[in-house]
């Protein structure tokens, strides 16, 4: 079995959650298998080994789970991208549009320094809105986007197209 096949067999699909029409990809069964989690993180880190990643930025909240493991594999620091009001120290923020209204994400001001190469990670790529806002936040503080990686990518929502202007290095293991 390939890693993608193993992950497909493990990740659970929940129809109509949190609202009708959404096929929610539930990674909790994957978290029960920590060896498979470690294997997943290794595979996500591998394409970035020679790309000079200085920091991995994980997006709240499921992006934290594999983000730390990926940073460990790349032997670099990890930083959290959080919803506004959650981080205790001085922050820098980025607002982005949702289907209705807008949202804001934050990062600690000292998380990334000028010129550092940042790998953006989240568990799943859907429309790409969250990852795009993260890329904008990183560029705002003078960081460079080294790429993006996701355990799962939903094709058909054009998430990749929204991220392409920031980096061509977009990696995912499971595609639906």
Whether 99 is a known active-site residue: answer: yes
Asked if 124 touches ligand AMP (CB under 6 A), the answer is yes
Q: Which helix (H) or strand (E) holds 78?
A: strand 78-83
- Determine the Cα–Cα distance for residues 92 and 176; give it in Å rounded to an integer: 34
Asked if 129 touches ligand AMP (CB under 6 A), the answer is yes
Q: Which is nearer to ligand AMP, 97 or 168 (CB)?
A: 97
Q: Which is nearer to ligand AMP, 23 or 32 (CB)?
A: 23
Q: Which of residues 55-74 bind ligand AMP (CB under 6 A)?
A: 59, 62
Q: What are the tokens at 133?
A: 């806002």
Dihedral angle sign, alpha carbons of residues 107, 113, 115, 120 = negative
Determine if residue 108 is left, alpha or beta; phi over 0 gives left, psi from -120 to 50 gives alpha, anything else beta. Answer: beta
> Binding segment for ligand AMP among 86-94, 109-117, 120-128, 167-175 (CB under 6 A)?
120-128
Contact (CB, 8 A) for 87 and 108: yes
Q: Which of residues 13-32 bind ligand AMP (CB under 6 A)?
A: 22-25
Output the smallest distance, CB 123 to ligand AMP, in A: 5
Whether 62 is a known active-site residue: answer: yes
Residues noted as catalytic: 62, 99
């Amino acid at each position: 079995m390939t890693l993608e096949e193993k992950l497909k067999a493990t990740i659970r699909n929940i129809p109509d959650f949190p609202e009708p029409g959404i096929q929610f990809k539930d990674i909790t069964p994957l978290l029960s298998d920590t060896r498979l989690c470690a294997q997943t993180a290794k595979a996500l880190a591998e394409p970035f080994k020679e790309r000079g990643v200085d920091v991995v930025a994980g997006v709240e909240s499921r992006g934290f789970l594999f983000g730390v493991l990926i940073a460990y594999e790349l032997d670099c620091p990890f930083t959290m991208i959080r919803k506004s009001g959650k981080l205790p120290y001085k922050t820098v923020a980025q607002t982005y549009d949702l289907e209705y209204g807008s949202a804001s994400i934050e990062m600690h001001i000292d998380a990334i320094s000028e010129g550092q190469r940042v790998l953006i990670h989240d568990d799943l790529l859907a429309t790409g809105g969250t990852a795009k806002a993260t890329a904008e936040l990183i560029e705002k503080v003078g960081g460079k986007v080294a790429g993006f990686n996701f355990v799962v990518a939903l094709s058909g929502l054009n998430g990749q197209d929204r991220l392409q202007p920031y980096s061509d290095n977009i990696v995912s293991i499971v595609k639906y």
